[in-house]
């Protein structure tokens, strides 16, 4: 069976759009249409459309990377609709067709046309999921790196950009020239102060093109901060086959996710926004506390279990978190090191929050992989974990667990687990990380990379805790090392 564009072809247990998609127009352009965007922001908008509102806020998706060709082909073949499967711990599945994305543009096909689409007055928000490493920010200095991939090209040929910076800045320049109000730039990536980081990156890029353009962008363009949360593992062939067998849906790229979702948004949208708060999003004037809770408790604990769990031979999140030793690692990190660095957030009890995290991690139906959590560690560790370590150093608090997590990343980067099986390492700084991890003549070489760790290697409390942990990991199994560390 092919993708059922005819809603009547879907079974009664599949929720499908009740609204008329032909009446939708795009008010949001989203750069980086992957699994998370389609399980999260697009699903929130789909819920809103079901209420009979926001028909001028549909999404025009944009892909930039070579791998996005596959997404382009899948979206075009299915009129940009797709299946979202929410998997509950008891094995129950909620299956729905999402219709909130109505266009998909692969920017390399015609970058000038994509710039014009972004310059269209109908587009009032440009949102982003381009990963933590996609903003060109040096994790050690916090400064924008003008040598990031594609930047030189976009500065030399601004009319045919290859990067998100080139697309956004050139389209904003055209809007300024034409007297069209700028859109809001909405980062939905996992970084504390993601809107502030986006402003820094895009404005610095604009400075390199024209200082006056950079000044205008800083003064006139809104960059709201957000916090986003929904565990969304990579779609597998088994997911596609199960969907076809159980529901008769042949979807080229369905999305699988957990039932839980959270979205906290700073309310700074001069040209308007959808009423996301009507479908569960939290609209606030200060996202900072929410961001810190999520990044330091959820994202950093993902890193804590990912490397130790992988070294111990686990490959799935729910398998790792079922191990009492991994659970003890998480609890010690949360209670002793992370939670003390958080300021109070209305409506959130951090101790209850981490209890729910254990339930979410233990969902066997999701089947989330540890390998997914290990991807791009050189972007994730500085973003999620190092702020906790720095905060504890500043107050003289404990950092032993955090240092051990960094050591487990170094041991993971050596490339094999305790059973001798290979471990994948997908990282933008792969060769640097591997070379430093394998140094035996210089024990602190791994944390002396100032781009990643700043001056942390100069702090004896951290360097000594790291060296002790990495020595244990190199001379015994990860399980034995973790038992000693705990």
State the CATH number of the domain containing residue 295: 1.10.1040.10
In this structure, the number of other CB atoms found within 10 A of the CB of residue 192 comes to 20
Strands 93-98 and 82-87: antiparallel
For residue 64, what are the CA distances in angstroms to 109, 146, 197, 472? 9, 18, 20, 43
- Mean pLDDT, the chain, rounded, equals 95
Give the C-alpha separation, 427 to 116, whole Å.
33
Which segment of 149-153, 206-210, 333-337, 477-481 scores lowest on mean pLDDT?
Answer: 149-153
Query: 355 and 257 in one domain?
Result: no
Query: 299 and 275 in one domain?
Result: no
Q: Tell me if residue 19 falls in helix, strand or coil.
A: coil
Indicate the angle between helix axes 164-178 and 111-119, nearest 10 degrees: 50
Q: Which helix (H) or strand (E) holds 365?
A: none
For residue 9, pLDDT over 80 is answered with no
For residue 4, pLDDT over 70 is answered with no
299, 405 in Cβ contact below 8 A? no
Average pLDDT over residues 231-246: 95
Query: 308 and 264 in one domain?
Result: no
**Sheet hosting strand 282-284, strand order edge to edge:** 226-229, 262-266, 282-284
* Closest residue by Cα to residue 260 from 229, 298, 291: 229
DSSP 88: P
Give the C-alpha separation, 94 to 259, whole Å.
9
Query: 94 and 169 in one domain?
Result: yes
Query: 346 and 318 in one domain?
Result: yes
**Sheet hosting strand 58-63, strand order edge to edge:** 101-106, 58-63, 26-31, 125-128, 184-187
Read off the pLDDT of residues 283-324 as tens digits, 9 standing for 90 and up.
999 999 999 999 999 999 999 999 999 999 999 999 999 999
Name the token pair of 383.
């973003």
Give the C-alpha separation, 449 to 439, whole Å.
13
Which of 263, 284, 305 is at the close of a domain? 284
Confidence at 11, pLDDT banded by 50, 70, 90: confident
Residue 1 lies in a domain: no
Name the token pair of 173.
């320049």
Q: Tell me if residue 447 falls in helix, strand or coil.
A: helix
For residue 328, pLDDT over 50 is answered with yes
The pLDDT assigned to 153 comes to: 94
Kindly report the pTM of this predicted structure.
0.92
State the CATH number of the domain containing residue 174: 3.40.50.720
Number of domains forming the structure of the chain: 2
Decide: residue 421, CB within 10 A, 0-12 exposed, 13-18 middle, 19+ buried: exposed
Give the C-alpha separation, 229 to 222, whole Å.
22
Residue 2 lies in a domain: no
Residue 263 lies in a domain: yes
Domain with 249 in it: 7-284
Average pLDDT over residues 103-132: 97
The pLDDT assigned to 3 comes to: 62
Query: 476 and 452 in one domain?
Result: yes
Give the C-alpha separation, 148 to 134, whole Å.
9
Query: 262 and 143 in one domain?
Result: yes
Give the C-alpha separation, 175 to 350, whole Å.
43
Query: 324 and 259 in one domain?
Result: no
């Amino acid at each position: 069976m092919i993708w059922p564009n005819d809603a009547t072809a879907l079974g009664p247990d599949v929720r499908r759009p009740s609204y008329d998609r032909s009446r939708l127009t795009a008010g949001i352009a989203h750069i980086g249409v992957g699994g998370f965007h389609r399980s999260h922001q697009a699903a929130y908008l789909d819920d809103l459309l079901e209420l009979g509102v926001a028909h001028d806020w549909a999404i025009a998706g944009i892909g930039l990377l070579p791998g996005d060709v596959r997404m382009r082909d899948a979206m075009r073949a299915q009129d940009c609709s797709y299946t979202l499967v929410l998997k509950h711990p008891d094995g129950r599945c909620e299956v729905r067709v999402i219709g909130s994305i109505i266009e998909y543009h692969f920017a390399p096909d015609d970058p000038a046309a994509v710039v014009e689409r972004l310059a269209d007055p109908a587009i009032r928000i440009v949102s982003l999921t381009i990963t933590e490493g996609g903003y060109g920010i040096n994790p050690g200095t916090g400064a924008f790196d003008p040598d990031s991939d594609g930047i030189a090209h976009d500065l030399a040929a601004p009319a045919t950009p290859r990067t998100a910076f080139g697309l956004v800045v050139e389209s904003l320049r055209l809007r300024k020239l034409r007297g069209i109000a700028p859109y809001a730039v909405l980062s939905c990536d996992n970084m504390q102060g993601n809107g502030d980081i986006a402003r820094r990156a895009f404005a610095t890029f604009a400075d390199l093109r024209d200082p006056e353009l950079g000044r205008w962008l800083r003064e006139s363009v809104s960059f709201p901060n957000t916090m986003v949360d929904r565990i969304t593992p990579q779609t597998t062939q088994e997911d596609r086959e199960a969907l076809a067998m159980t529901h008769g849906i042949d979807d080229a790229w369905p999305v699988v996710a957990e039932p839980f979702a959270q979205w906290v948004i700073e309310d700074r949208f001069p040209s308007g926004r959808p009423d996301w708060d009507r479908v569960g999003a939290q609209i606030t004037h200060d996202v900072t506390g929410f961001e810190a809770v999520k990044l330091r408790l959820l994202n950093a604990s993902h890193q804590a279990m990912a490397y130790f769990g992988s070294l111990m031979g686990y490959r799935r999140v729910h398998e790792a978190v079922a191990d009492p030793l991994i659970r003890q690692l998480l609890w010690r990190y949360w209670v002793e090191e992370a939670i003390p660095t958080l300021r109070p957030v209305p409506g959130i009890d951090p101790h209850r929050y981490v209890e729910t995290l254990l339930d979410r991690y233990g969902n066997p139906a999701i089947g989330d992989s540890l390998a997914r959590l290990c991807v791009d560690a050189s972007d994730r560790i500085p973003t999620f974990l190092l702020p906790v370590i720095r905060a504890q150093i500043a107050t003289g608090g404990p950092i032993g667990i955090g240092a051990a997590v960094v050591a487990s990343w170094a041991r993971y980067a050596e490339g094999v687990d305790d059973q001798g099986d290979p471990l994948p390492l997908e990282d933008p700084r792969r060769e640097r990380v591997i070379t430093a991890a394998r140094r035996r003549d210089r024990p602190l070489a791994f944390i002396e990379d100032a781009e990643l760790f700043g001056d942390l290697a100069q702090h004896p409390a951290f360097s000594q805790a790291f060296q002790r942990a990495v020595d244990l990991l190199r001379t015994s199994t990860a399980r034995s090392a973790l038992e000693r560390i705990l």
